[in-house]
Amino acid sequence: MAVDALARSFECIGDDYDRYRPGFPDRAAAIVIPGRVEAVLDLGAGTGKFTELLPVRATRVVAVEPSDRMLAVLRSKLPRVEAHIGTAEEIPAADATIDVVTVAQAFHWFDRESACAEIARVLVPGGTLGLLWNHSDPGCEWDRACHRIAHPAVGESDATTDTADEELPGFEFVRREEVRWTETVSREHYLRRWGTVSSFLVADDVERARMIAAVEQVLDDAPATRGRTEFDVPQVTDVFVYRLAAPV
């Protein structure tokens, strides 16, 4: 399955993504923005799962997202956020007007070179870029088993964060930190969450039903979830922080 087709699969969902996908811990936002700033731009904002942590940290919050349906959900729940249709490769913001750019659960979909150049363009001198990803806790065997059903090519490690490393063009690496947290969800909520994952969205009805049945079997077999209508899901949020490099 082509990467662009997987990325476009999110254009057909909005409410379900917002309802069933995990949010982000406040600690993750504090790592990227330790003190209040004037302007922050959340790029690839989706339905605002991370954006909702930003108004208390910035005077002006801008959200940029290519999907109309996703952005409609964000606008409905965050009416004071400036929300714009746009992409990482063509950000609808003026030069040097943003103190912090955040990208949560989206940087791996971007054209890295073009996106970094655009992010650098809109940031003020010395501005901050924060990249964040939620992923399953490696110590939670049943959740990892469910991830392998959805992403069999990923293996034991989540490769989406490979797009973040210590050498992003135009940026200086500052720090990386893991934030561990736990959410309590119902079995139905957990199953519906998988329906918002790209590999499920692009699958045909037969393949989608097979994957859901396989996830249900994992839940039926694992001691932590067997016979339970509600259970705890451990999460890990990877946070990468960069500073805009000074012009050479």
Task: Evaluate if residue 1 carries a pLDDT over 60.
Answer: no
pLDDT band of 5, cuts 50, 70, 90? very low
pLDDT band of 172, cuts 50, 70, 90? very high
User: What is the distance between the alpha carbons of residues 200 and 151, in angstroms, rounded to a whole number?
Assistant: 10
Task: Evaluate if residue 2 carries a pLDDT over 90.
Answer: no
Direct distance between the N- and C-terminal alpha carbons of the chain, in angstroms, rounded to an integer: 40
Task: Evaluate if residue 236 carries a pLDDT over 70.
Answer: yes
- 95, 35 contact by CB (below 8 A): no
Q: State what percent of residues in the chain have pLDDT above 70.
A: 90
Q: What is the per-residue pLDDT for 150?
A: 87
Task: Evaluate if residue 158 carries a pLDDT over 60.
Answer: no
Task: Evaluate if residue 81 carries a pLDDT over 50.
Answer: yes
Range scoring the smallest mean pLDDT among 2-16, 25-39, 144-158: 2-16
Task: Evaluate if residue 166 carries a pLDDT over 90.
Answer: no
Q: What is the per-residue pLDDT for 193?
A: 92
Give mean pLDDT, residues 14-25: 89
**CB count, 10 Å around CB of 22?**
15
**CB count, 10 Å around CB of 55?**
14
User: What is the distance between the alpha carbons of residues 200 and 202, in angstroms, rounded to a whole number?
Assistant: 6
Task: Evaluate if residue 165 carries a pLDDT over 80.
Answer: no
pLDDT digit string (tens) for 31-56? 999 999 999 999 999 999 999 999 99
Range scoring the smallest mean pLDDT among 3-7, 35-39, 66-70: 3-7
Backbone angles phi, psi at 23, to 5 degrees: -85, -150
Higher pLDDT pick, 1 / 195: 195
